[in-house]
Structure 1
């Protein structure tokens, strides 16, 4: 009979011990018990001895391995301090050369704070124990004002939301993005040591798109040839107002945008003043793209474009982008999911 390593399974070991006792009570010889259970004769004697001294409760295996915190190089207080520094500070704020909290950066932090040298693998074990996982960071500009963001989340947007109800308005979030045919993202499997090669067009094709989404699943978009300017923005807002007015039975548009210069241009301001009964515009805090749900639509589109073979012509690139956007426009549940991101869930 094939023997099991019961040391790796506490429950299996307990059941095996119980079987040994039951077979002994049934009159089996110890040699037969050892053969049937796949254990040694001394093991049978040891189990029966435990049973005689303490009954079935004595058969429960003792906890194996290190006790909690045994042989750890950092104390509980030191671990807490390191965790707090990683949560609250960037490496550069602590005068380190690292841009991100990698295992190397954490090891250097521990060494500088406590004089303890940790191997990279040991750092990984600590991070796993703390439930710290490697994540793609959100890029935020140095110029972002945390107080302005806090005011937007706690005061300005709640007021916009309340005013929208009073004025029978729909809140839409707008943004612009560039679409290119040379943006290849993601990873590709290949034999170890052989870096895969992706062929990209030598001629770079590019155009822009402006879009707007709302938390009801609506999506409006417009492809733009040439430079994005005030005229293009006014054309988009005109179409948006018309669509919302028709779909929403006369509803007004509350449009939230970033602080791109063209959004504050004189022609745009004049157009907005002439259409105050149909649309009002609100501006996000400066350098805060993560607060705009429409950024998730942009990421969705770019992922779709970059996941396929690069388009060699402008026509194919535009056709691919338009095909995806038509699909998104007809998939309100997909648009609603954009608002599930933790950074924009306030707008859901």
Structure 2
């Protein structure tokens, strides 16, 4: 009979064979011929049984123990993970903008004098559950203390006033729409980069101002001319007429929002509308930014249009759909950066 190597069997198969060896041994039968195992395997099994009984013949897990042979200790791994989460490379005076494998390798060498190949660093990151992700852009000028003051003091105050006065809180922003905006990815065979046709010299551009509420309302206006104070006031007039109640509108610090024309217009209608302003360099705090991203993502999926009329039609179709699906707009407020406004 051809002998079988125990290395080619699963642990359960090996366990069953070992039990078979012991039973045959007890009956004084020629084991090697009947079991098909090699003599060393048979002898070792019998020795294990005679020393420790049935429990002793259960095979142990193959290979090195988990974590054995790693260059970093468990404590060192935890420390490196915490640094990556809490710090940016430049804060540690490293010549990296983001945490790449090379940056993590330099960090490990800097902290513990251990030099690891890039492949090993990738395995550590995967084991820790770290994945490559597109970072959120945040301006250097942003003041973290001011952000906390907004989140913990200013906005809760606006919210309380809105409840007392029966006002509706809207978040507003402007965005530009072009027929040359290409985003996203397209599947194609490996090594064959897909081609996206552009519209060349027929570039068309529109502007849009829109607001959202945490109740799922969205109000919008598409502008073909340049966006100025008069157009902004026109939109505000439509907004308060549609709301049917006082509007608290939170905006960024675009110059037109602070213009004399706008301030005078709002002052004459202070019983109908009030304007509030987000911190400078803090677009991530504005839920309406998610609507802009949603719109542009949808526009990029379509075949590029060649006329301004078709660009306007495509944008209007998507915005009309958002008006009719408030649950999608409510979903914008589930983003962790704007959940405070939900």
Q: The TM-score by the shorter chain falls in which range?
A: 0.7 to 0.9
Please report how far the alpha carbon of residue 193 of structure 1 lies from its aligned counterpart in structure 2 after TM superposition. 2.8
Alignment-derived partner of residue 82 in structure 1: 80
The within-5 A match list for 1:236-315 is: 236-245=235-244, 251-315=245-309
Counterpart selection for 2:160 from 148, 156, 162: 162
Deviation at 1:20, TM superposition (A): 6.4
Match of 2:96 in 1: 98
User: Is the alpha carbon distance of 1:46 and 1:92 closer, same or farther for their aligned partners in structure 2, counting shifts above 3 Å?
Assistant: same
Q: Secondary structure at 2:175's aligned position in 1?
A: strand
1:291, CA displacement in angstroms?
Answer: 0.5
* Aligned with residue 190 of structure 1, among 184, 188, 191: 188
Q: C-alpha offsets along residues 3-60 of structure 1, whole Å, 9 cap, x if unaligned? A: x999799xx633762586489869999679857xxx7686577556655654554454
Other-structure match for 1:248:
none
CA contact (8 A) 2:96 2:103 kept: yes
1:61–1:307: structure 2 CA closer, same or farther, 3 Å change rule? farther
1:29 to 1:147, Cα distance in 2 relative to 1, 3 A: same
- Which stretch shows the higher mean deviation, 326-335 or 58-67? 58-67
Aligned positions of 1:123-138 closer than 5 A: 123-138=121-136
Q: Residue 229 of structure 1 corresponds to which residue in structure 2? A: 228
- Rate the CA distance shift 1:293–1:53 in 2: closer, same or farther, 3 A: same
Report the Cα offset of residue 140 of structure 1: 0.8
**Is contact 1:17-1:47 (8 Å) kept?**
no
Between 65-74 and 179-188, report the one with greater CA deviation.
Answer: 65-74
- What's the offset of the Cα at 1:221? 1.0
Query: Contact 1:211/1:222 (CA < 8 Å) preserved in 2?
Result: yes
Deviation string, structure 1 residues 131-162 (Cα, Å, up to 9, x no partner): 32211111111111111101001111111111
Equivalent residues of 1:291, 1:343 under 8 A apart: yes
Contact in 1 for aligned 2:176/2:205 (Cα 8 Å) = yes
Deviations 1:277-325 (A, max 9, x none): 1122211111100001111111101111112222222222221111111
Residues 165-187 of structure 1: CA distance to partner in whole angstroms, max 9, x if unpaired?
11111211111111111111122
Q: Secondary structure at the match of 1:217?
A: coil
- Contact 1:33–1:44, Cα closer than 8 Å, also in 2: no
Structure 1 stretch displaced more, 314-323 or 23-32: 23-32
Task: Verify: 1:218 aligned to 2:253, yes or no.
Answer: no
TM-aligned CA deviation for residue 188 of structure 1: 2.2
| CA drift at 1:199 | 1.0
Assess, with a 3 A threshold, how the Cα gap between structure 1 residues 181 and 34 changes in structure 2: closer, same or farther. Answer: farther
Correspondence list, 1:112-131, <5 A: 112-131=110-129
Quote the Cα distance in structure 1 between the aligned partners of 2:53 and 2:242. Answer: 79
Q: Is the 8 A contact 1:6 1:13 kept in 2?
A: no
Q: Which deviates further from its counterpart, 268-277 or 69-78?
A: 69-78
| Matched residue SS, 1:176 | strand
Q: Tell me the TM-score normalised to structure 1 length.
A: 0.85
Unpaired runs of 5+ residues, structure 2, are none
How far did residue 229 of structure 1 move? 1.0
